Amino acid sequence: MKIGERKLYVDLGATHLIAATKEYQNIAVEIKSFLGKSDVNDLEEAIGQFFLYYKIIKQREPNRHLYLAVNETTFNGIFTEEIGQIVLADPMFRLIIFDEENELVSQWIHT
């Protein structure tokens, strides 16, 4: 994505923004691995990045919805704790949980 003179790269495979359709909705997906030393730091980075991309997409493509995608292990870790539940309760936040081994989406979460 380009905003002004800046270029932003979405972490998906080889830094590509994936545009897709989910039930006739245009979506963008940001995949995060949570491989750092601290899940809290990874969550802070992911939420900050999500919020920035959310604001840009909302302005430029108001009909597109942004999702953060994490694997089931990450979801069953920090997102089941209180800190993760606070994030999930935000109505602007959308999450895809995927089964990494079978390469399938196991759950869509949005309010």
Read off the pLDDT of residues 33-48 as tens digits, 9 standing for 90 and up.
999 999 999 999 999 9
Domain ranges of the chain: 2-110
Count of helix runs (H) and strand runs (E) in the chain: 3, 7
> What CA–CA distance (Å, rounded) separates 44 from 66?
17
Read off the pLDDT of residues 13-22 as tens digits, 9 standing for 90 and up.
222 344 555 5
Mean pLDDT, residues 21-36: 79
pLDDT score at 13: 29
Strand partners, 6: 3
Domain at 2-110: CATH architecture? 3-Layer(aba) Sandwich (3.40)
**pLDDT of 31 above 80:** yes
